[in-house]
Amino acid sequence: MKITVYTDGACSGNPGIGGWGAVILIEDTKPVHLHGGSDHTTNNQMELIAAIEALKYFSESSILNFFTDSKYVKEGIESWVHNWKRNGWKTTAKKPVKNKELWKELDAQITKHTINWQWVKGHAGNVHNETADYLARKFIEDR
């Protein structure tokens, strides 16, 4: 079964009010839209939470094509997190990793799945990325 996920985060002010959105496309079914937010957050936190919440949606181990427009999330989970764990959650500059608890949660979530991480340019006309962005901004606008 083919499963594709698109996630996005948004923030008005940084920090400020922020939202996250996810679009889950499961072969031959209607798209699933998830979204939420926080009154005091950052854009990077919303990007991470979008990925975490999308992965939590799946109760069983799945093979996922996962699209994010956040290089922070993609590069962080594909390469930086390995060094952070090895270095006691410190950066190469020996400073504490920002958003450590969210990174730990995302790292735990990915162990349940086989994920093909892909970066997509934001605000470039990709319909599912635009929908994830809309869902993220909806939380902000509804406040």
Enter the DSSP assignment of 99. T
Could you give the residue numbers annotated as active site? 8-9, 47, 69, 123, 133
pLDDT single digits (tens) 45-79: 999 999 999 999 999 999 999 999 999 999 999 99
The secondary structure of residue 98, as a DSSP letter, is T
pLDDT digits 0-9 by tens, 111-143: 999 999 999 999 899 999 999 999 999 999 998
**If you write DSSP's letter for every residue of 39-71 in order, what string do you get?**
EEE-HHHHHHHHHHHHHHT-SS--EEEEEES-H
Tell me how far the alpha carbon of residue 86 is from its chain's centroid.
Answer: 23
Q: What is the pLDDT of residue 1?
A: 86
Assign domain 3-141 to its CATH architecture. 2-Layer Sandwich (3.30)
Domain definitions of the chain by residue range: 3-141
The token pair at 75 is: 């590069």
Give the position of tokens 């920090």.
Answer: 15
Provide the pLDDT for residue 68. Answer: 98
